[in-house]
Amino acid sequence: MPRRELGLGLIGLGTIAGGVAKVIQERGQTLAEQAGIMPVLRKVKVLPADLERPQARALGRSLLTTEDDEFWATPEIDVVVELIGGEHPALEYQEQALRAGKHVVTANKEVIAKHGVALLKMAGERGVHLRYEAAVGGGIPLIAPFRRDLVVNHVNGIYAIINGTTNYILSRMAQEKAGFAEVLAEAQRLGYAEANPHYDVEGIDAAYKLAILATLAFRSEVRPDQIFCEGISSLTARDFQNARELGYAIKLLAIAKQSGAGIEARVHPAFVASDSFLAQVNGVFNAVLVDGDLTGQVTFSGKGAGALPTSSAVVADILTIGHDIAAGAPPPAFFESLTHNVTPMADVVTRYYLRLNGADQPGVLAQIARTLGDHNISIASAIQKQTDIRAQIAEIVIVTHPAREQEMQHALGELRGLVGVREVGNIVRIED
Amino acid sequence: MPRRELGLGLIGLGTIAGGVAKVIQERGQTLAEQAGIMPVLRKVKVLPADLERPQARALGRSLLTTEDDEFWATPEIDVVVELIGGEHPALEYQEQALRAGKHVVTANKEVIAKHGVALLKMAGERGVHLRYEAAVGGGIPLIAPFRRDLVVNHVNGIYAIINGTTNYILSRMAQEKAGFAEVLAEAQRLGYAEANPHYDVEGIDAAYKLAILATLAFRSEVRPDQIFCEGISSLTARDFQNARELGYAIKLLAIAKQSGAGIEARVHPAFVASDSFLAQVNGVFNAVLVDGDLTGQVTFSGKGAGALPTSSAVVADILTIGHDIAAGAPPPAFFESLTHNVTPMADVVTRYYLRLNGADQPGVLAQIARTLGDHNISIASAIQKQTDIRAQIAEIVIVTHPAREQEMQHALGELRGLVGVREVGNIVRIED
């Protein structure tokens, strides 16, 4: 048993922090043998409201403080573990810790996505660690593999399902042929979706995680505000029905790939071939497919959230720091961030699924085809689907060949103006 | 650009070594920036026959030697990269390198499976690295995640498809409803199977890899000779047909799991639910499912072999060593190997699929059921399948509830003796 101790200061005491504290206290011995140093909780900064939580009771009052000053004044805190989430004041806590020369471990995707490169630089200058394995994919090893195991590769692309809430909703919509609102309500009842589902449903959470992965994979800062982001709320049972018939599943994909000189970074619903790996990822599971020039396609999957999986990643980061300290090794140097350009969405080229409701009369399909053709969008297949006899409305489903986003957007504008087109039902990009 | 150099000595110059040399030479700059030290090839030990290979020509004669003495006498070799494969003389080369205080990187599954713990101990005593990421799963990060990212977990079990040749053969048998011999011949034509397929087809290669993963996962030495090993050559088109109808796929699984006080470690064909993750892994792909007590099920998959994926893993190991040297960090201490017992196969409990050919006459099924019952094996479902009218033979397919292997083996002996039973067609374990 090593005599040396690794002092930990936790900020936040939600379910994840509770899980981390539990693991540290219950597995201290084993962890110490693995790291060569004994991780010990010195202080936990909580909100007054947290004091009544079971995890607070379990820790005992003396370990807890509601006062920042008392927290920072606690002696022998080597590692600050920030687990409150959100941008502020989490960012300020991390900066204060780094300025004080303390190592930082966090699960905070928003702070790392928006400020990761700057914080890593700060940590590098002060010779301390900033680790955030838990920020993406819960207990799935992702950050470490990118920083180490795959580092030899030129990454061609990342294709990821990294938001459990939306994947659960899409999986249920596919199974139950149910509508979005209905399934969202169910997900909220079951606790799979927040009361305010905005961050998940609109793809913002996925964009944060993609920014973190893309920045590592391409060694070039990719900020969330550079990522095109489209949510899943416009998808209908008709789209799932059509996708099925065309041999696709619908997933909210986070995609970052090399394209020419730049990087494409986008989050949006996509048709993926129903026999593909990503199509098989259902429910709250996350999955990341990395296409490396040496490895080829490598995939990682598992539960992307939850107190226990996430605490596994947080404690693994703590142990890595502990091991380096015990070994007297300096932390990894800050990686020099290259500056690839992020390709504007207007220039992105994909295939499209297009669902329109048109007047059930001759010539409408021709009008539509002409309009698309005018924008250099060629049609791979077009089907006039079900018809509402009474309203004389026909559903027209079109799959295009690869086309530029900008052209498609212009075409959509014109399609909406066509007399024969009653409604542009939906448009979904196809990734295969 | 760091001035310091990391001297490499390669042993072997097959396709993998050729890939490693290529990556080191073509990406030296980038790798140097990542590791903080410049990896440089100092000498490559080859066989006379290798001298005419393209990868030998590419390196140039001065880097090559056919003489052990000249190789070991080469100054400034920090890392010996052993890539000849097989137990001997690879083991002796690794030992000599470690004795000389050199770090060792290898892709040699046989040496690590049989001697890994002893070699790690040797490396630990001499304060050098022994790294073998490439020994399992080609370019899929597996060893590092077990040693670091998942180390906080108690691993409940590992379920792996880790031999591409057999997975290719089984995938084709499932698709084409073809027989084993036929598909094997095809795989050999296509270069997916060796002229001598013994190591792959009989599960020996998979057992080596499982020994390596299980030893890491349970921190307890699991030797290949402790692993029950059954190949795929007895599987027939009938078994795939029956599996499909019962809702299963057939895979060669490498399984290591906690069971009571001990560890189960076995390689054999298994029925897996057709909608499970492992059932979706087809062709030459490998996949490893790890069930951790904190993470839950985490999966890794990708191409398990090939020069480029494997060289990605080898070079990543070289960079890790380079980084530690540049940082002045000692290598990770040897992990103290616990000593769990490996459960004898006779005591393993699984469900079974049983295919028999019986006389098409009353009472046969009753005889079979009674025999199984005598050994405490209860039947979940029994179907009298197709009948060969002429020969008056009926195929009987039985799925059992969980039963002890030993009981099943005894029951099989008695079944073979029953007058009504013409043949025990096959028996396959069920994992769900």
For B83-126, the pLDDT digits (tens) are 999 999 999 999 999 999 999 999 999 999 999 999 999 999 99
H-only helix segments in B45-128: 54-59, 68-73, 90-99, 109-126
Residues A217, A263: Cα–Cα separation, whole Å = 11
pLDDT digits (tens, 9 = 90+) for B51-94: 999 999 999 999 999 999 999 999 999 999 999 999 999 999 99
Q: What does the pLDDT profile of chain B (432 residues) look like in tens digits? A: 456 999 999 999 999 999 999 999 999 888 888 888 999 999 999 999 999 999 999 999 999 999 999 999 999 999 999 999 999 999 999 999 999 999 999 999 999 999 999 999 999 999 999 999 999 999 999 999 998 899 999 999 999 999 999 999 999 999 999 999 999 999 999 989 999 999 999 999 999 999 999 999 999 999 999 999 999 999 999 999 999 999 999 999 999 999 988 999 999 999 999 999 999 999 999 999 999 999 999 999 999 989 999 999 999 999 999 988 887 777 776 666 677 899 999 999 999 999 999 998 889 999 999 999 999 999 999 998 877 788 889 999 999 999 999 999 999 999 999 999 999 999 999 998
Identity of residue B6 = L
CB distance B144–A145 less than 8 Å?
Answer: yes
Per-residue confidence band for A326, with pLDDT thresholds at 50, 70 and 90? confident
Does B209 qualify as catalytic in the annotation? yes
The better pLDDT of the pair B333, A246 is held by A246
Q: Which of A209, A251, A257, A385 is catalytic?
A: A209
Please list every residue in chain A whose beta carbon sits closer than 8 Å to the beta carbon of residue B308: 293-296
* DSSP-assigned beta bridge partners for residue B354: B398, B427
Q: What global pTM score does this model have?
A: 0.95
| DSSP structure string for A348-367 | -EEEEEEEEEEESSTTHHHH
A58's enclosing H/E stretch is: helix A54-59
**pLDDT for residue A222:** 95
CB distance B327–A323 less than 8 Å?
Answer: no
Averaged pLDDT for residues A332-354? 86
SS3 assignment for A150-196: CCCCCEEEEEEECCHHHHHHHHHHHHHCCCHHHHHHHHHHCCCCCCC
Per-residue confidence band for A3, with pLDDT thresholds at 50, 70 and 90? low
**pLDDT for residue B2:** 52
Residue at token pair 């004044």: A73
**pLDDT for residue B330:** 73
| Residue of chain B with shortest Cα separation from A331 | B327
**pLDDT for residue A36:** 85
Please list every residue in chain B whose beta carbon sits closer than 8 Å to the beta carbon of residue A23: 152, 294
**pLDDT for residue B261:** 81
B26's enclosing H/E stretch is: helix B15-26
| Residue of chain B with shortest Cα separation from A26 | B152
Mean pLDDT of chain A: 94
| Residue of chain A with shortest Cα separation from B290 | A302
State phi, psi for A114 to the nearest 5 degrees. -85, -30
CB distance A298–B301 less than 8 Å?
Answer: yes
CB distance A294–B328 less than 8 Å?
Answer: no
Please list every residue in chain B whose beta carbon sits closer than 8 Å to the beta carbon of residue A280: 277, 280
Among A53-62, A73-82, A338-347, B382-391, the range scoring the smallest mean pLDDT is B382-391
Pick from A308, A309, A329: CB nearest B329: A329
Whether the per-residue pLDDT at A2 is higher than 60: the answer is no
Residues A165, A40: Cα–Cα separation, whole Å = 34
Distance from CA of A337 to the nearest CA of B (A): 12
| Of residues B272, B84, B316, B35, the one with CA closest to residue A298 | B316
| 3 state SS of A105 | strand
**pLDDT for residue A360:** 87
**pLDDT for residue A187:** 93
**pLDDT for residue B360:** 87
**pLDDT for residue B329:** 76
**pLDDT for residue A275:** 92
Residue A76 DSSP code: T
Return the percentage of chain A with pLDDT > 90, whole number.
Answer: 86
The better pLDDT of the pair A51, A387 is held by A51
**pLDDT for residue B387:** 75
Per-residue confidence band for A35, with pLDDT thresholds at 50, 70 and 90? confident
Whether the per-residue pLDDT at A347 is higher than 90: the answer is yes
Please, what sign has the CA dihedral across residues A62, A64, A69, A71?
Answer: positive
> What ipTM did this prediction achieve?
0.94
Q: Which of B140, B143, B295, B334 to mutate to test the interface with A (most CBs of A within 10 A)?
A: B295
**pLDDT for residue A336:** 67
Residues B196, B88: Cα–Cα separation, whole Å = 19
Residues B396, B386: Cα–Cα separation, whole Å = 8
